[in-house]
Structure 1
Amino acid sequence: MSLWPELELVLPEVSKPARYIGGEGGMVQPEHHPSKVAWLLAYPDTYEIGLPNQGLQILYEILNERDDAVAERAYAPWVDMEAEMRAAGLPLFSVDTHRRAADFDVLAFNLSAELVYTNLLNCIDLAGAPVRAERRDEGDLLIGAGGHCTYNPEPLADFVDFFVLGDGEEAVSEINAAVRDWKRAGKKSRQAVLRELAAVEGVYVPSLYDVAYDGPALVSITPRYSDVPEVVEKRTVADLAAWPYPKHQLVPLTEVVHDRLNVEVFRGCTRGCRFCQAGMITRPVRERPAEQVRTMVADGLARSGYDEVALTSLSTADFSGIQEVVAATMDCGAGEVSVSLPSLRVDAFTVGLAAQIQRARRTGLTFAPEAGSWRMRQVINKLIDERDLYGAVESAFSQGWRRMKLYFLTGLPTETDEDTLAIGELARNCVELGRAHTKNPSVTVSLGGFVPKPFTPFQWFGQNTVAELQRKVFLLRDNIKRNRGVQMKWHDPKASLVEGIASRGDRRIGRVIEEVWRQGGTFQEWSEHFDYERWTQAMDRHGLSVDWYVHRHRTEDEVLPWDHISAGLHKDFLWQDWRDALNEVGLEDCRWTPCYDCGACTGYSIEHIVASAVPPAGGSQGTGQIPTGYQPPAAVAVQLSGVGARASS
């Protein structure tokens, strides 16, 4: 039964009521039936953040195509709406038909960031289910979660019934079958369906594992039953072409982030950036055929009416034949279509690509050098030299761009003040390059505090303290604040610390998350609601050391909270890559070199699926050498003169 009559009464009292009404283009009109498994797919953030999420939209379509499933969507209600709902006794509801969450069988979350964890608990509570999994019975919702954050599921292990690791396209149907059989049998045993779910490849059921500690140290996480896997392997879709989703992207009635047609061109990345969890856990590379990309773009534009297309991946300019795909995309539709490439490698951004993109409305450019010095980029394996960056920047300015953003990290392993100040030097030189082409060029430096993540070579690194991150931020701010054309924005170092608590925490961190939530700490990823003291005080009250969880270096033989989870990567490969980082040794992209035996391909009997036998950038691949014929402006030439020497040292 729809809650709309009751909801309609409270909507005039809240900001942005369009968040809760549904009715988007592409929305499914679900037909519920007792024989079907009813899924409520939830994004634990506001509607405008969650609606564009491609993972949720893909599963929404796949489930609704089945004759034994139905899926609707929910998003975290903003604080004003939550207050009205609790005052009126209204539960969490779907935006599609405004059914109460309790009318569904499964409440499944997409987890893309650690700071939404308290929102997840809040949504479970609003849904009417016990927050802790151990207190749920056969009549309660099954709570699931997927997404990149589930590669360390332990901080949420007390609250989530099952986690899905890796690609969900195939796994969701197998999970649906297990829940369907349980439902048709009358939901007689919750424990039985959890055992069935644990048998699905890629599914982790934390209640079926025992955890042992020795003082602060984690000793083991072991299965309670012989038929429960000791190590849960991620799911990997080998053929991306078999899953051309979403076929009917949702078109919202109100403003959302990334409000454009999104088409995934490939999945995975082998550039090997040591800070990047997404690049490590999504290996191997699987490209979508170029013809399928063109079809998805053409069909999507015709259905949606959008005039902007984002070609998405972890490094879109690496897609084979990217210039041809961009050209074909811009020729789609009745009018001009603009193309956005959200993940641009500066060493793959060429004048030709810039010229293609600028044919229509320019959507802005963001490059991510990540570190200011060549030495630091060797440490993090971001093998782009100053030539790469300046060449990309000059390509953009020469084609008419006036503004761009450069994204950097601070607090990286072995980082010195010289490395930090090199960020300012790069930004100033980029502005100088722009002055040769436009009157008032602008470069914005966006600075984030580095947080080590599971299944990266930096998972053993002790994160910088809040005080040290703040010192580095202010050092750079003072260095560039008098430079015309250079602006700077930065992420709150206190938020980085809380992210660090959750990203590498064990099951004991669940107590902290629950306490912060019970004290009203929702929407912690929003600066106006983030409360640092709530987190540190909760850690203290539960006898947990921030320094132990966040700032200390891990040892090679230490049991990590995610050791019973497999992202397909050999742990000894990650450890060697960590040692290579400390020795400033870079590794080239393994698609174009001999195999490094990381385990991603061999473990799944598939290899990188790409259309080209040569590197897409066709360049020096981060050699640090200046190519013959490149003539930078005089103000930049001095900076470039030492690049080759640093690379060969």
Structure 2
Amino acid sequence: MEAARLGIAPARITEARVPRIDLDPLLHGVSKPARYSGGEWNSIVRPWDDAEIRWALIYPDVYDVGMSNGGLAILYDLLNHTPSTLAERAFAPWPDMEASLREHGAPLFSLENRRPLAEFDALGFSLSYELTYTNVCNMLDLAGIAVVAAERADDAPIIFAGGSGALVPEPLALVIDAFILGEGEDVILEVTEVLRDWKSAGGGPRVELLRQLARVPGGYVPRFYRWAYQPDGTVAEVESLDAAAPLPVVKRFMQGMPPILTKPIVPFLETVHDRAGIEIQRGCTQGCRFCQAGMIYRPLRERTPEEVVAGARELLANTGYDELSLVSLSSTDHSQIDGIVAALRGEFGDGLGISLPSTRVDSFSVDVALACAPRRKRSMTFAPEAGSQRLRNAVSKLVADEDLLAAARNAFENGWSSIKLYFMVGLPTETMADVQGIVDWAAQVKQIGREVVGKRARVRVSTSNHVPKAHAPFQWARQDTAAELEPKHQLLREGCRAARLDFTWNDPAESILEGVLSRGDRRVGEAVVEAWRRGAGFDAWSEYHDPAIWEAAFAAHGVDPDFYCHRERDLWERFPWMHIASGVSEAYLRREWMRTHRELTTIDCRDGCQVCGLEHAAQLCELKLQDRVLTQRARKAGEPLPVVV
């Protein structure tokens, strides 16, 4: 077991089989004990001894955040409705609960049967944010499981990880036994059957089970791959060490949408998204060049209004919620969003609150939001992302000045008095004039608000620091240093104060850590484990993030943050994620990066296939490609353009 951190005794398991955890002594003096008690409405407690395969599904952040993760909820429901299989949940204990566990020598446990995590066959971590990686290490240690994969015994649980973070796996390659790449509901049952067959056959050396998992399409087992580096530190090559380990490893995705989860767990305490939710579409067609999610969650798939209403009927009856969130990367881009909202209104009347967590910047979105909330007017949120038309063109954010101003006027005229505007600072090709444009644009919105609603008008400007991500066109970009960001933040602080705009921004130090982990290689993984050993944890929470710990960890392993963050990559540099096929091709991403510097936008792929790499993998994309080919042939031949029905 790893050495104790911060002088606190490590968790210890002294018996081969630990009985159900007694909560009473652990929860004395702990804040929000409902985070650890389980027993929520719709939670599923299956008999422990009846299950052949036992999964612990883990979100490496506090319960309040993790319970809002839709992917974990889908897998929990799917596995618990699979014969002879159970799935239980665990979340990162808040520091007061961690101290209690270590003080009492109690292992980290699941919420349902309160079993130690070390007793499960498989632990599945959901990786949605890089700053939770030290929590993964800490949770394994609290469970009495070796943090480093190579140190685990044959009978230790298999440690899996999935989610968006799994597509850049190397920073956790020392810790995770096997990554599941892509949409978990498409592959989790195949993995479960491998575990079941292995267990029923009597088991054996751990490496043989990992070899079988590597053969599952979408499975990546780091121990079967070796990396070589150039003298300048860049990647030279990655080599497969076993015939079972493919190159590349291809992401899994479903051709359609999974069934709507209609019986989710209802927490006892308030969570980040404390409402019912239905994923109305998956994927995005906008193609914003900074957006990793818009690339890796392709292709686009939509639900029909009828499917949404039928799902909502069951969902609301099973949970008691009176608010429904229509979830997607950009909900108002759904081709039938107005039909969905109208159908929900027709079914449930005005008593149901409908929320749109993401909208595009135009008056149509305001009209849809008005239909969603005819009476309750909360803040309207828009994300222009950049402060000038030039920069929005460069990042292919398909928003014009007149779109925002018209949308703002529409919102104020229809009863909203508060508007939030989200921007990024540090985007490629950005100048101080672009940053000043954020203030100028927001001030125009504030002036429109004053004209319409008077002194009640409120405009909040919120900025995040751009962190380039893998599998997106800006994977070649350099990230602004803290010194480069400071004058931009200063301009925004002073400008927003003068214009009487509210203003919030992110700490550049946290953005740099995110940048290292977002494009890190296996060498960064050594620093992740080192930072955890030195006390790092809950790095996404400003009150616990300690830059000094990370500086020491990076120095101890020769990791230079400037190398990973602050240099622009050569167009043909090989990346630490080049062995992962996310669906979108490197050629497409490279083309989009080159168009950035020419300030050329790329049209929404609803309006025509852009040949991004999925045109032969996704059924709908293949149809769009055929339409494009037929259209080009017709134009060349001077024939009438084909009509697509």
How many angstroms does 1:8 deviate by? Answer: 1.4
Q: Distance in 1 between matches of 2:39 and 2:469?
A: 38
Q: Distance in 2 between matches of 1:415 and 1:540?
A: 31
Q: Which residue of 2 aligns with 1:596?
A: 610
- Given residue 160 of structure 1, which amino acid in structure 2 is its aligned partner? I
Q: Does 1:79 align with 2:108?
A: no
- The match for 1:253 is 268
Match of 1:402 in 2: 417
- List alignment gaps of at least 5 residues for structure 2: 1-16, 628-645
Taking structure 1 as reference, are residues 376 and 334 closer, same or farther at Cα in structure 2, changes over 3 Å only? closer
Distance 2:304 2:193 in 1: 30
Per-residue CA distance 1:451-491 (angstroms, 9 max, x = gap): 0000111001111101111221111111121223x100001
| Whole-angstrom CA distance in 2 between matches of 1:587 and 1:333 | 39
CA distance in 1, matches of 2:369, 2:620: 34
- Tell me the CA shift for residue 63 of structure 1: 0.4
Structure 1: 5+ residue stretches without partners? 614-649
1:361 matches 2:376:
yes
Match 1:483 to one of 474, 490, 499: 499
- 2:125 counterpart SS class: strand
Cα 1:496–1:609 shift into 2, 3 Å: farther
| Contact 2:616-2:622 at 8 Å conserved across structures | no
- The aligned residue for residue 60 of structure 1 is 76
Q: Distance in 2 between matches of 1:313 and 1:354?
A: 15
Q: In the alignment, what sits opposite 1:510?
A: 525
Correspondence 1:289 to 2:289? no
Cα deviation, 1:377-398, whole Å, max 9, x if unaligned, reads 0011001001111122122111
1:543 aligns with 2:533: no
> Root-mean-square deviation (CA), in Å?
1.7
The alpha-carbon deviation at position 213 of structure 1 amounts to 1.8
Q: 1:224 Cα shift?
A: 0.6
Counterpart in the other structure of 1:13: 29
Q: What is the alpha-carbon distance in structure 2 between the residues aligned to residue 72 and residue 507 of structure 1?
A: 30
Q: For residue 250 of structure 2, what is the aligned residue in structure 1?
A: 233
1:115-154 alignment runs, 5 A limit:
115-154=131-170
CA contact (8 A) 2:385 2:422 kept: yes
- Does the CA-based 8 Å contact 1:101-1:107 persist in structure 2? yes
Q: Is the 8 A contact 1:110 1:146 kept in 2?
A: yes
Q: What is the 5 A alignment of 1:523-602?
A: 523-593=538-608, 595-602=609-616
SS at 1:349's partner residue? helix
Contact in 2 for aligned 1:132/1:158 (Cα 8 Å): yes
CA distance in 2 between partners of 1:360 and 1:308 (Å):
13
Indicate which of 426, 432, 447 corresponds to 1:432: 447
Match of 2:202 in 1: 186
> Is 1:470 aligned with 2:486?
yes
- Cα deviation, 1:594-647, whole Å, max 9, x if unaligned, reads x2211023234552899xx9xxxxxxxxxxxxxxxxxxxxxxxxxxxxxxxxxx
Question: Match of 2:28, SS?
Answer: helix
In 1, the alpha carbon distance for the partners of 2:365 and 2:284 equals 20
> Kindly tell me: are residues 514 and 504 of structure 1, through their superposed partners in 2, closer, same or farther at Cα, counting changes over 3 Å?
same
Q: Would the aligned equivalents of 1:42 and 1:74 in 2 still touch at CA under 8 Å?
A: yes
**Counterpart in 2 of 1:219?**
236
Tell me if structure 1 keeps the 8 A contact 2:21–2:116. no
Contact 2:465 2:511 in 1 (8 A): yes
Question: Relative to 1, partners in 2 of residues 1:609 and 1:31: Cα closer, same or farther, differing over 3 Å?
Answer: farther
Contact 2:304–2:340, Cα closer than 8 Å, also in 1: no
Query: In 2, distance between residues paired with 1:360 and 1:442?
Result: 19
Query: In the superposition, relative to structure 1, how do residues 5 and 177 fare at CA in structure 2: closer, same or farther (>3 Å)?
Result: closer
Per-residue CA distance 1:33-81 (angstroms, 9 max, x = gap): 4652100000000000001110000000000110031100000000010
Q: Distance in 1 between matches of 2:424 and 2:391?
A: 11
**TM-score, length-scaled by structure 1:** 0.91
Aligned-partner Cα distance in 2 for 1:267–1:608: 17
SS at match of 1:607: helix
How far does residue 362 in structure 1 lie from its aligned partner after superposition? 3.1
CA distance in 2: counterparts of 1:381 and 1:360, whole angstroms: 35
- What is the deviation of 1:364? 3.0
Rounded to whole Å, the distance in 2 between the matches of 1:197 and 1:4 is 30
Contact 1:35/1:184 (<8 A) preserved: no
Distance 1:88 1:335 in 2: 51
Instruction: Tell whether the 8 Å contact from 1:302 to 1:333 is kept in structure 2 after alignment.
Output: no
SS in 2 for 1:219: strand
Residues 492-546 of structure 1: CA deviation (Å, up to 9, x unaligned): 1110000001000100001111111111111000000011121122212211211
State the shift of 1:437 in Å.
2.4
Code of the aligned partner of 1:376: L
Out of 315, 327, 337, the position equivalent to 1:322 is: 337
Q: Determine the C-alpha separation between the residues in 2 that align with 1:281 and 1:23.
A: 35
| TM-score, length of structure 2 as denominator length | 0.91
* Distance in 1 of aligned mates of 2:520 and 2:289: 20
- The one-letter amino acid paired with 1:525 is A
Q: CA deviation at 1:170?
A: 1.8
Counterpart of 1:89 (choices 100, 105, 108) is 105
Native 8 Å contact 1:265 1:311 kept in 2: yes
For the 8 Å contact 1:284–1:608, the answer to whether it is kept is no
Q: Give the equivalent residue in structure 2 for 1:447.
A: 463
Letter in 2 for 1:231: P
Instruction: State how far apart, in whole Å, the 2-side matches of 1:351 and 1:465 are.
Output: 37
Amino acid of the residue matched to residue 95 of structure 1?
L
On the 8 A contact 2:255/2:619 being kept in 1, the answer is no
The alignment covers a number of residue pairs equal to: 607
| Letter of the 1:223 counterpart | S
Shift of 1:32: 2.6
Task: Note the C-alpha offset of 1:335.
Answer: 6.7
How far apart, CA to CA, are the structure 1 residues paired with 2:270 and 2:604?
Answer: 38
Distance 1:362 1:608 in 2: 42
The answer to whether the 8 A contact 1:372-1:422 is kept is yes
Compute the displacement of 1:256 (Å). Answer: 0.8
Q: In structure 2, how many angstroms separate the alpha carbons of the residues matched to 1:402 and 1:100?
A: 50
Percent identity of paired positions between Structure 1 and Structure 2: 43
The letter of the residue matching 1:119 is N
Letter in 2 for 1:515: E
**Which whole-Å CA distance do the structure 1 matches of 2:622 and 2:281 have between them?**
11
- Give the aligned partner of residue 208 of structure 1: 224
C-alpha change, 1:348 and 1:8, in structure 2 (3 Å) is farther
Q: Which amino acid aligns with 2:234?
A: A
* CA deviation profile, 1:363-383 (whole Å, cap 9, x unmatched): 432211000100000011001
* SS state at 1:436 partner: helix
Matched, 1:169 2:185: yes
Q: Distance in 1 between matches of 2:531 and 2:614?
A: 37
Matched, 1:278 2:290: no
Q: What are the residue-to-residue correspondences of 1:43-54 with 2, within 5 Å?
A: 43-54=59-70
8 A Cα contact 2:363 2:406, kept in partner: no
Contact 2:386 2:434 in 1 (8 A): yes
- Correspondences of 1:374-393 after superposition (within 5 Å): 374-393=389-408
Deviation at 1:361, TM superposition (A): 2.5
Deviation at 1:332, TM superposition (A): 4.5
Q: Distance in 1 between matches of 2:68 and 2:563?
A: 37
Please report how far the alpha carbon of residue 214 of structure 1 lies from its aligned counterpart in structure 2 after TM superposition.
2.7
Letter matched to residue 410 of structure 1: V
Point out the more displaced range, 568-577 or 520-529. Answer: 568-577
Superposed displacement of residue 3, structure 1? 6.0
Partner of 1:626: none
Q: Is the 8 A contact 2:286 2:603 kept in 1?
A: yes
